[in-house]
Amino acid sequence: MRRRSAAYWLWVNRRLAGRNHEEILEDGTQVEVQARINQQSVTQLFICIYRPNGSVWVEEFHDRALREPLCQALEWGLARAGDIVAGSGCFKAPHKIQMTLGPLIRDECTLALRRMDMSDEERRNLKIRDAWAEYVHAKEAMLALMRSARVEADVWETQKRRLCEAIDRRASLARACLGN
* 97 & 180 share domain: yes
Nearest in space to 179 (alpha carbons), one of 7, 56, 5 = 56
Instruction: Give how many domains the chain has, as a whole number.
Output: 2
* 27 & 105 share domain: no
Is the separation of the CB atoms in 2 and 59 below 8 Å? no
How far apart are alpha carbons 130 and 124 in whole angstroms?
10
Side-chain half-sphere exposure of 84, counting CA atoms within 13 A: 29
- Residue ranges making up the domain that contains 122: 92-180
Q: pLDDT digit string (tens) for 132-158?
A: 888 899 999 899 888 888 888 888 999
Is the separation of the CB atoms in 30 and 24 below 8 Å? yes
* 60 & 107 share domain: no
* 57 & 96 share domain: no
pLDDT category at 97 given cuts 50, 70, 90 is very low
* 79 & 111 share domain: no
* 65 & 109 share domain: no
* 68 & 29 share domain: yes
pTM here is: 0.47
Q: Which of 30-34, 168-172, 176-180 has the lowest mean pLDDT?
A: 176-180
* 60 & 79 share domain: yes
* 136 & 178 share domain: yes
